[in-house]
Amino acid sequence: MYKVMIVDDEPIIVEGLSRSIAWEKWNCEVAVTANDGLEGKQLIEEKKPDIVFMDICMPEMDGLAMIAAINSQFPDLEVCVLTGYRDFEYAKEAIRLGVTRFLLKPSNMEELEEAIDTMCKNLKKKGITGEQPEMSGEKEQGESASSSFIVKNALHYIEENYTQKLTLSEVAEKTYVSQWHLSKLLNRHTGQSFSDILNHVRIEHAKELLKDPALRIGDISERVGFLDLAHFSRVFKKQEGVSANEYRNEVLGR
């Protein structure tokens, strides 16, 4: 049977969907439920459902980022959004990121049954019969809208937080994917590792600060997020081919 998961912070919705639909008609069963987005994401990774019904306006959750993460890591998973958020552009972006149906609450039974029917047909087209013990899980993909969306969000987060002690783990958490998956996506889309990207951002900002002769190089190093001057110096020379001091003299001498 196809495993169905329902994610909604309103228990009455979870209960209603679980009990009011004749799931067996589509060879489906509600195997797992969750009441918040992060718990839902964790359970998707653990239980590997075939179909997910989810709200995307839940506390402490970026709905589009969550959709992108799910679609990028589990491309065979069928997702139906069920939400009270009435924004056409948002709905269009959710569908671009891999959602099969975007239904507004309160949805009628006809809409829900059409969504289930479509998702089950899509699973069959992919060769998923509901009899396998697990989904295919993460697999290599080409450029996809969801992967690009995750990378864009990750790069934006790095740019906004490069002065902090930033880790791959923290950025992965903010984009709702595993460290391994984010590392793979960054490498595929940029050709660089996380640390190379972070160092590049830091050095670019350092170059701007070096234009101010009143700032000491040690202060600049600290200001752009390096823990010690020696590391900053090594990274700067590797990226620019000259030392920070030589770069400053060259820039200020123009």
Tokens of 96: 């671009």
User: CA–CA separation, 36 vs 58, rounded Å?
Assistant: 6
| CATH at 87 | 3.40.50.2300
Predicted local confidence at residue 144, as pLDDT: 86
User: CA–CA separation, 209 vs 212, rounded Å?
Assistant: 6
Residues 68 and 112 in one domain: yes
Alpha-carbon dihedral angle through residues 225, 226, 227, 231, given to the nearest 10 degrees: 170
Residue 138 — pLDDT band, cuts 50, 70, 90? very low
Q: Is a pLDDT exceeding 90 seen at residue 202?
A: yes
How many angstroms from the chain centroid is the CA of residue 133? 26
- In 3-state terms the chain splits into helix, strand, coil percentages (rounded to 5) of 55, 10, 35
Residues 151 and 118 in one domain: no
Lay out the sheet containing 28-34: strands in order across. 28-34, 2-7, 51-54, 78-83, 101-104
In a 10 Å sphere around its CB, with 0-12 CB exposed, 13-18 middle and 19+ buried, how is residue 25 labelled?
A: exposed
Tell me which of 72, 91, 125 is where a domain ends. 125
Tell me which of 91, 125, 159 is where a domain ends. 125
How many angstroms from the chain centroid is the CA of residue 131? 29
Kindly state whether residue 132 falls inside one of the protein's structural domains: no
Q: Which residue has the tokens 């002690």?
A: 165
Predicted local confidence at residue 132, as pLDDT: 52
Phi-psi region of 147 (alpha: psi -120 to 50; beta: other; left: phi over 0): alpha
Strands, DSSP E only, in 84-151?
101-104
Tokens of 64: 């589009």
46-80 in b/e burial notation, b at 16+ Cβ within 10 A?
eebbbbbbbbbebeebebbbbbbbbbbbbbbbbbb
Q: Cα–Cα distances in Å, from 77 out to 25, 44, 54, 56?
A: 20, 10, 13, 16
Kindly state whether residue 77 falls inside one of the protein's structural domains: yes
Tell me which residue range forms the domain holding 248: 145-252
Q: Is a pLDDT exceeding 50 seen at residue 181?
A: yes
pLDDT tens digits along 149-176: 999 999 999 999 999 999 999 999 999 9
Kindly state whether residue 149 falls inside one of the protein's structural domains: yes
Predicted local confidence at residue 234, as pLDDT: 95
Kindly state whether residue 97 falls inside one of the protein's structural domains: yes
User: CA–CA separation, 216 vs 105, rounded Å?
Assistant: 58
Q: Is a pLDDT exceeding 60 seen at residue 133?
A: no
Predicted local confidence at residue 33, as pLDDT: 93
Q: What is the mean predicted confidence (pLDDT) over 210-237?
A: 94
Residues 121 and 21 in one domain: yes
Q: What is the mean predicted confidence (pLDDT) over 30-56?
A: 90
Residue 134 — pLDDT band, cuts 50, 70, 90? very low
Nearest to 119, CA basis, from 73, 81, 63: 81
pTM listed for this prediction: 0.82
Domains identified in the chain, total number: 2
Q: What is the mean predicted confidence (pLDDT) over 216-223?
A: 95
Residue 140 — pLDDT band, cuts 50, 70, 90? very low
**DSSP conformational letter for 108:** P
User: CA–CA separation, 120 vs 125, rounded Å?
Assistant: 9
Residues in the chain: 254
